[in-house]
Structure formats: structure tokens, C-alpha cells
Chain A
Amino acid sequence: MRKLFKFHGGVHPPTNKTQSNDKPIAPVALPSKLVIPLHQHVGNCAKPAVEVGQHVFKGQIIGTPEGRLSSAVHASTSGTIAAIDMQQVAHPSGLPDLCITLIPDLKDEWIPREQRDWRAMSHTELRHLLRDAGVVGLGGAVFPSDMKLYSSQHKITTLVLNAAECEPWITCDDLLMRERAADILQGAEVMRELLYANEILIGIEDNKPEAIAAMRAAVVAGKHERIEVVAVPTLYPGGGAKQLIRVLTGIEVAAGVRSTDMGVQCFNVGTAYGAWRAIAHGEPLLSRIVTVTGNVGKPQNFEVPFGMPIDELVAQAGLLPDTTGYIMGGPMMGFRLPSTQVGVIKATNCIIAMSDALFPPAPPALPCIRCTRCAEACPADLQPQELYWFSKAKNFGKAQEYHLFDCIECGACSYVCPSHIPLVQYFQFAKSEIHMREHDKQAADRARERHDYREYRIEREKQEKAERLAAKEKAALAAKPVEPPVVATNPDAAPENTAQMKIQAAIDHAREQAAAVKPKNTENLSAEQLAEIAEIEARRARIREIAKSDVEPPKE
């Protein structure tokens, strides 16, 4: 029996898992359209690789990964691309993002799938395959898996498969393990190989005995070595990566340290399954298991293609009329979906239909009485009552001093708060405000640098111009020495004479120029104009005569 460890705090919310975990995973009928966001992962948004009107096959890449940290996006079924535009996505902001709309042709025709033996492939090939198959962390963080499967910098000894599924209502990992345990273990073997890890620990909360039994049976049946299925005590948030690592290995992952620095890497079971389907069956990540529960007639897990609109999915579970909204994720960490039209994404593990009976509106928040029950419940050893104080007062520097960024936003503090203060919302607000300020600060620093460089450049250009002119003059002077002897042989080369000569030359030059310039309007003149000119000339002659006669008299 393995020795297990404890993490600080934790709460026991009602699990509400039995509603959905008694039925097998059901396939869904294809919806009328799929709205597939191109940014379903951490990192750069995928670049559209198809055109509107194009026919695509199931599994065809419709978004190519862009940059180092990115992942591919695929057509979840065969059909026609109807639009590539900004549409509302499953995000708490409710803002639009770039999506591809696919109208299924209901034939579900696959691209040619290649079944490969991973033992014959190089590690780089495997990582490229995972990236092009769009495999990302399905526990909710959607971090590209290929980026987590490096072990060059750290020696990984333990691979932890996270199957704790500590959030209430959610049962997708539970059902996946019950039904597809062998594939999960195969995927874990590939991951172990890529990480050069020694042992694999699979942490499952002890409220899922069927899943534990299924996984243990699969370990025996598959003759897997150094894989242990560990039942961990049910305690929210035991499925947090840091918390599960702590429980299984006793390793405390400190603030600012990655678990890989401590020799542990962590993946969700769904990710291991997805990786295996991609490698051994040539099937990119096109669908995932989603728990549809809450205020529905038939709460159940479905295998849902990405992009399926929420309303069409919930309709298949039998939506009840008094539904007031939908939560994506669990009730502790999930968020309310902005619309029922948004598509299922890789991060969607659960859809909970809300009703006033199941989720009564939160009572109004009362003042904090500093009872510190939140501090007792905090799994990250923080002081939520202090963080609340500073976040509410927008004293962000102080909040950071109290390690705001170690908060995993699990909601245990809000859950126990006797004053019903939405603590996590304050922390989320403070975090996003701090991020934005840092972003602004960086932009300002960059602008300052660019401005300073511009000033420097202008100064340098001025200097260079002056230097160029000086060099030109110098060169002209250097070229002149042929002339001075000529000047010297000239007998009247006295300074005043040369000056006079110059003036004379300038006058001559001006005269020549004046002679060269002809009036421009002397051609093609009419008789009238000629007469006018003659008259003007005559007048001028007369004036000259008068001027002469006027000047003469004083001489006499």
C-alpha cells in the first residue's frame, strides 16, 4: 500500500456524480452546423488552412499551428466550410473569436488514416505527430501536449496521470476510464517513453471505484510494468496538478517552480487517450467526452465533436424547460456560457444546465468578519481574507506580496465563506488588472526605447550629414591645387584683382543668362496683340525720349 500525503485545506462539496455516471458514453447525432474556434489551446491561434465553400473530410486540418507554442485544429466531420469569421466562443468574456463554420454532409468520411507503430518512430516525429493531431491537455488547461513531452532539461522520474476528477457533477474521466482503460494506458506508455520517466502513477479519487477497478484490470491485462493505479481520498481540489502531485509523491511544488523541475510531469487521462488515438490510429483530436448534466432529463456522457453548438448537445440529453443558463466546467471553477450557440471546444469537459432549484442565486455578500475559514480551506496555503482586502481596495502591489498569483482559483474559499463573498471573482479581477498593467508597462517601456532610439538616430544622421559635407569640402579643396599655379602665373593676381575678376565673371555670366532667356509669349500672336505690343513699345520709346530731354536741361 502506497503511502499517501496530504495537502492543506480542501472542502467536501456535494459530488452530484451519480446522476450521470450510471450510463455509458453515448454518441451524438451530428448537429446542423459545427462552429469550430481556431484558438482552442494555449499559445498562438491556428491559421485557417481552408477556404469558404471548400469540401473537407473528417480529420482534415482546417487550422495549421502557428509558431512554436500552438496546435492544429481539424474538421470534426466531413462537410462544407460555410464561413470563416468572428463568432462568439465559449469564454467568460462572451467576446467573438475567429471560428470556422462547417456544415456536415452527414457522410462522416474520413481522411486516409495511417496506423503507426510508435516504437519505430523517433521522439521528434512523435512530438510533431501530436502537434499536427491537435493533442492538447484535456483537463481544462488545453496546453499543447507536445510542448510538455520534452525531458532534455529535466530528469523526469514520475509521470502522473490525473484522473482525480474532483469537481462536482463531472464524470467524463470516470466513464472514459471505465470504457477505454487499455487505450489510456497505451497513451501513458508513449508519454513515459518521450519523457524517459520511470514510473507512472494514476491518481483516481476513491469515489470512483468502478474506474479504479477497470484501470487496475487493464494494467494487469496489458502486462504494464511500473504503473500504479492509486485511489486518493475524495477532497476538493485534489485534482489540481500541484495538489495531486503532493498527495501521490509528497513533493511540494513551490511557487514559481514547475513540477518538471522536481522530476514530475502531469497529464490528464483524456490527453493520454487522445495521444494514443492520434499515434496508433491516425485519428486527430476531433471529439471528447462531455458530461451533460444538471437540469436535464437524461444526464449522461457524450462523445461530442468539437464545434457542436451547446443547445443542440443539451437537447440530446433532454433539456428541461425551467433551465436558466449553462455552466461550462464544474460549479466550483466553471463559468456561465455567454450564449447557447457557442461550440464545444477542447476545454469543455462538462455542461451543467442550471435551474433556480439546483443553483439558487447567491445570497448578497456580507462584510468580511475575518473568521479565516477561507485560509483554513485554501489548498495553496494562502490568506484569502488578506487577498480579498487588498484586491477590493485595488492595492495590487500588496496583493502580489501576499502571493496572489499562487491562487489556483479553485473556489474553496468562496465555498466556505459564511459571508458569501465571491472571493475568487475578486482574485480574478486583481490578476487580470495586474496582467493588463504589466502589459501597459511593457508597451510604455518599448515606446520609450523606440523614442530614445529615434532621437539618437536623428542626431546621428545630422552628424553624419555634417561630416559628409565637411569631407566634400575637404575633397574639393584637395582637388583645387591644380588652379593656384595658374593664378600665381597671372601677373595681376593680387587679392583685390582676383575679387574684381570674380565679380566681373559673375556679371558676364548673368548677362549671358539674361540673353539666353527669351520671352516665352512671342510666338503665334494675333494681329491685335501685335498692335498692342507695338503701341507699348512706342510708349516706352517716348518715355525714354522724355527722360533724356529731362536729364539734359540741368547739364546746360
Chain B
Amino acid sequence: MLAALLVMSAISIALGAVLGYSAIKFRVEGNPLAEKIDAILPQTQCGQCGYPGCKPYAEAIAEGSADINLCPPGGEEGIQKLADLLGVEFKPFGAGAEPKPKAVAFIDENTCIGCTLCLQACPVDAIAGAAKQMHTIIASECTGCELCIAPCPVDCISMEPLKESISTWKREYPIYALKPVHQEKSSGPSE
């Protein structure tokens, strides 16, 4: 009887020690789910979801306090990926939140007064400039978040839709137009 008690308690102490040790040793920093969600988000950092960046939104989704259809730059494909990851139903965009074509900001350098307000607004530091110096967009780094447009006091920033060029050209999905079937033949079952 006593031997059995001792053996059982020894086992439980040993297992408890192992669990306690691994809880410290293999501790996961941060929320792994939020990181996975963050990897799907387009990193526009535009705040259209109502959160101050992609990461806070990812954390909110992971917590369950935010919907998955709040990210217009991610497109429907982004929602689909989030739905797949989280095992929930696909949800279409709400009214007024449809994705826009990709664009980059453009500063009209004749109008720019060098106030640095857009520099402070840019979430990815994609505007080069200094006080009383002309500013310009680093187009390759611009995410098209539009956050620089509102602060500009002289309205010199506009969004230029990205034009398709040979380097960004994508081959289309092969689609073959069906030929209209002649009237007299159409009585039979269609192809």
C-alpha cells in the first residue's frame, strides 16, 4: 500500500517537474496565431480596418474581437485565406469597403511646401524629404495606404493607379470563347 503511494507520488512529482521545466524552456513568445494572421495581411498599414496597423488587427482577429472582412487591400483572396486559417465561413466585404485597384501616392512637387506632415503620417517611411525641402514618394516602398493625403495642407498628394508594364504583366487564365451554336442545331442538347 505504502509502496504504491510512494511510486504514484514519485511519478507525479517527476512528471510535474518535466511539465514545469518545459513550460519555462519551450515558452512561446507572442501569439503564434496572430503572427500567422499577420503573415496573410497585406501590410499596407492603412488602418482601414479600424486598427492602427496590420499587427493590431491580426491580434484582434486572433482574440476574436474583429471580423475577417475588414481588410480591403487584402482583397477577397485575403478573406478566403483568413477563413481557411481560422476555420470559419467566408464573409464578403461590407458596403463601401470594396478593394480598390493598387495605387501609389504621387506628390506634385510644384505645390509641395515641405511641411513634413506627410512624412509623419507615412507608416512605412516611404516619403523622402525634410522641413522646407521638397518631398517625394519612394514609389517602390509605397503601400498605397492613402494616409498621407489627409494631413497635406496644400492637397498636393494624389493616388496614381499602378499601370501594367512588361515586368508586372501577368498571363491570363486560359479562357476560350464559346462559338455560338447555329439556330437549327440548338434544338439538341448543348455541348
Report A's interface with B, CB cutoff 8 A. Answer: 39, 89, 91-93, 95, 97, 364-365, 422, 425-426, 428-429, 431-433, 436, 440, 443-448, 450-451, 453-454
Contact = CB atoms under 8 A, between A and B. Distances in A.
Task: Say whether chain A's binding surface is mostly helix, strand, loop, or mixed.
Answer: helix
A440 B40 CA distance: 11
A337 to B, nearest CB: 14
Given A444-B42, A444-B43, A450 B172 contact: no
A97 B123 CA distance: 32
Contacts of B166: 39, 89, 91, 93, 95, 97
Given A447-B143, A448-B43, A432 B38 contact: no
A95 B174 contact: no
B45 A451 contact: yes
Given A95-B166, A444-B42, A450 B174 contact: no
Contact of A445 (B43, B170, B176, B191): B43
A89 B167 CA distance: 13
Interface string B127-150: 000000000000001010000000
B137 to A, nearest CB: 14
A447 B141 contact: yes
9 contacts: A91-B166, A92-B171, A425-B171, A447-B143, A448-B43, A450-B125, A450-B126, A451-B43, A451-B123
Interface in B86-115: none
> Chain B contact residues (Cβ within 8 angstroms of A): what range?
20 to 34
A429 B191 CA distance: 26
A296 B143 CA distance: 51
B53 A451 contact: yes
Most chain B CB neighbours (cut-off 10 Å) among A93, A433, A444, A453: A444
B173 interface: yes
Nearest to A89: B166
Nearest to B143: A447
Contacts of B54: 448, 451
B174 A426 contact: yes
Contact of A447 (B43, B168, B174, B178): B43
Contacts of A425: 171, 174
Interface string B13-43: 0000000000000000000000000100111
A470 B177 CA distance: 74
Contacts of B179: 364
B165 interface: yes
A444 B174 CA distance: 28
B170 A422 contact: no
